[in-house]
Structure 1
Amino acid sequence: MADPLIVPVPQPVETRPDHLRWGIVSTVKAPLRKVAEFIAHHLDLGAHRIHIHLDVPDPALAERLAHPKVRFTQCDDAYWQGKPNRARETHQMRQAFNATRVYRIIALDWLAHIDVDELLLPPAPMTELLAAVDPQASHVSVDPREMLDDWGATRHFKRPVGGATKRSVYPTFGEHVPGGFISTLSPKVIARRGLDDIRFGIHALRLRGKIVRSGTTIPGLDLGHAHAPDFETFQRHLAYRLTKGSYHDRRGHLNPLGHLIRALMDDPDPDALRRFHAEMCGATPERLDLMAAHGMLVSARLDLDAKVARFFGKLEH
């Protein structure tokens, strides 16, 4: 087996929480409110800079959500002119290209590459957590926690499980769904500044095409993922996810979850797909108790409406 790819970290690194600066880069295609929630949540966590690339240019959105710590990039034809054609081909490649470009120009200590439906859920201030990371670690991997269908003041997320626990929590569909997640199990990355020739992938750092292995994790730091927080959202994104996103077949490999979803869509029972979502993402009190008993449950009071109002006032829609 080849040795893991270790990338040396330029020393010294910033270990003083009150001096450390961190930020986020994201390529988004979402309504005004969702973008506002994403930005407001991370400003509230203390992000020093948030770089938003609008995959579909929208100057009005950028103007409405203008903030001293936010930088908007309109990904129009002028932006892409002179850049590699391949970088523009798919949403995933645009994400990776945009994140890598920002990484190379930032004046921050750390940069997180996450999506607009993902929210960092730290157990302590981000500056304290990042300042305490091993100085030799090139990046932090943050595991996803899938948001459940519960719209109370406290939002609930779940950790992946396997074996008998998965079968007990998801008795009908669990054996067909890896980890019990209908979204990705792969982590997202917060990269330390100054690594030579590094490129962002979607779920990893890469150096000359190889995955960098010199990262670490932060205990208790989760990434809340609103992949399908309600059935309507799940259903609305299915066409894209089955043809280009997380449910489509890649490079000749079948996507079992995508094929299960297609089978449920073709089922004569019109409620088959809804029953699948209810089992995998439902949040009845009984299911929350069961998940808590198995150590699967992550709960957080997000107060997104209050955060949006504090940073942007009352949104028009």
Structure 2
Amino acid sequence: MTQDGPSWAIAALADEPAPLIAAFVRHHLAIGAREVHIFLDRPNPEAEALLNGLEGCILTLCDQVYWERVNHGRRPGRHLGRQKFNATRAYRTTGCDWLLHCDVDEFISDGAALSALLAHEQSAEGIVLGNLERVHRASEPGVHIFEGAFRGPIGFTETDAKALFGRFATFLNFGLTGHRVGKTIVRTGRDWTMGIHTPNGFDQSKLVKSDSRLLLHFDGLTELHYALKLLRKAFENYAGPKRKIGQERTAQFRFIRDHASDPNALFQLVRGVQSLTEHQTTILGILGVLHEVPFVPKACADLDLSPATFNAMLREREASLIATAGLKL
């Protein structure tokens, strides 16, 4: 702990267009992170150019040379396995008091609030940072990929969910497309291996759940990004047992895979689960789970964060996946 309070770091495995990775790093350093550990899952020279020399950014390319050095040449077959392996390496090497393992589509909204929380919870071994999920509204100008409002989870009955979301209710869990359990920031120096949401071997009695939802989840920065994210998971092929996921996420994967050759149906689903009608906006506002404070990442004024540029990079970066899935764009 420093005189200014506990120090904190973030670790993430990154396989995204360079502007998103750069925004993730710059924003978190700007709001108080001492270190941001980025593990590039594939070569990304554009991201390296944007991040090289940035104080506080620890950048690692996870090529075969890396895996030879750190894991006897074995690259974990599952994306989740590589996430956990690299997060554990960051956990064991960081000089900070706390470490958060998250994805590069997840952003801490308020660094001062996080620092105050860490200083206050002096006996906790880990703090669950609740999450909100970005949603789009028709009034957005479409200037940058972080536009939108944010919704929190809510336990609808099946009848109420169908009344509000119609046929798209099948794809939503507690009103969200993604997770609702948040991510856990943990004290360093313990004998843990990192997981996706909490460490393995963690004493749950030492876990504190924050009342505030400081983690913003952008489950797809553009419509195309969301579709490709699901396609990548739907076409995963790795040895060993398949990971367990919820029925709603499974339904998303199945629909996207089955309709890859029908862009109208595919993007109709994307809009149905990630955009709000005026009526839905009103209802979620009344229920107190819609947060309309805009988010713009810090220290990113010189980055091109336009949807058009982001989608162009996606098409180039994911050309093989697009061809494999038969996605018609």
**Does TM, normalized by the shorter one, top 0.5?**
yes
- Contact between 1:265 and 1:272, CA under 8 Å: does it hold in 2? no
For the residue of structure 2 that corresponds to 1:189, the secondary structure is: strand
SS at the partner of 1:302? Answer: coil
Structure 1 CA distance for aligned equivalents of residues 154 and 87 of structure 2: 31
Distance 2:95 2:181 in 1: 27
- The letter of the residue matching 2:197 is H
The structure-2 alpha-carbon separation of the partners of 1:80 and 1:222, relative to structure 1 and needing over 3 Å to count, comes to same
- Which residue does the alignment assign to 1:139? 126
Counterparts of 1:169 and 1:123 in 2: how far apart (Å)?
Answer: 34
Q: For residue 23 of structure 2, what is the aligned residue in structure 1?
A: 37
* Runs of 4+ more than 6 Å apart: 267-270
Indicate yes or no: 2:284 matched with 1:291.
yes
On the 8 A contact 1:137/1:216 being kept in 2, the answer is yes
Say whether 1:221 aligns with 2:213.
yes
- State whether residues 205 and 212 of structure 1, in contact with CA within 8 Å, keep that contact through their aligned partners in structure 2: no
Q: Tell me the distance in 2 between the aligned counterparts of 1:95 and 1:252.
A: 16
Pairing of 1:163-202 with structure 2 (within 5 A): 163-164=156-157, 165-175=160-170, 177-195=172-190, 197-202=191-196
How far has the Cα of 1:226 moved from its partner?
Answer: 1.1
Whether contact under 8 Å (2:153, 2:175) holds in the other structure is yes
Could you tell me whether the CA contact under 8 Å between 1:122 and 1:220 is conserved in 2?
Answer: no
State whether residues 231 and 257 of structure 2, in contact with CA within 8 Å, keep that contact through their aligned partners in structure 1. Answer: no
Residue 235 of structure 2: aligned partner: 243
2:14 and 2:39 in contact (8 A); partners too: yes
Matched positions, count: 292
Letter in 1 for 2:284: M
Does 2:40 correspond to 1:54? Answer: yes
Structure 1 position 131, deviation (Å): 0.6
Matches of 1:171 and 1:148, distance apart in 2: 17
TM normalised by structure 1 equals: 0.80
The equivalent residue for 1:76 is 63
Change in CA separation of 1:173 and 1:303 when aligned onto 2, cut-off 3 Å: closer
Q: Residue 12 of structure 2 contacts residue 38 of structure 2 at CA under 8 Å; is this kept in 1?
A: yes
Larger helix fraction of residues = 2
Aligned-residue identity in percent? 26
Q: Distance in 2 between matches of 1:272 and 1:96?
A: 35
2:151 aligned to 158, 163, 166, which one? 158
Q: Is 1:109–1:193's contact at 8 Å kept on the other side of the alignment?
A: yes
In structure 2, relative to structure 1, the CA distance for the partners of 1:44 and 1:299 (3 Å cut) is farther
In structure 2, C-alpha distance between the alignment counterparts of 1:61 and 1:216, rounded to whole Å:
35
Question: Which residue does the alignment assign to 2:199?
Answer: 205
Specify the code of the residue in structure 2 equivalent to 1:149: H
CA contact (8 A) 1:59 1:74 kept: no
* Partner residue in 2 for 1:3: none
Distance 2:256 2:20 in 1: 29
- Whole-angstrom distance in 1 between the partners of 2:213 and 2:130: 8
**1:307 counterpart residue number:** 299
Q: Which runs of 5+ in 1 are unaligned?
A: 1-13
* Cα deviation, residue 201, structure 1: 0.7
Aligned partner (choices 12, 18, 27) of residue 4 of structure 2: 18
What amino acid maps onto 2:294 in structure 1? R
Structure 2 unpaired stretches of 5+: 310-329
Distance 1:168 1:254, change over 3 A: closer
**If the length of structure 2 is used for normalisation, what is the TM-score?**
0.77
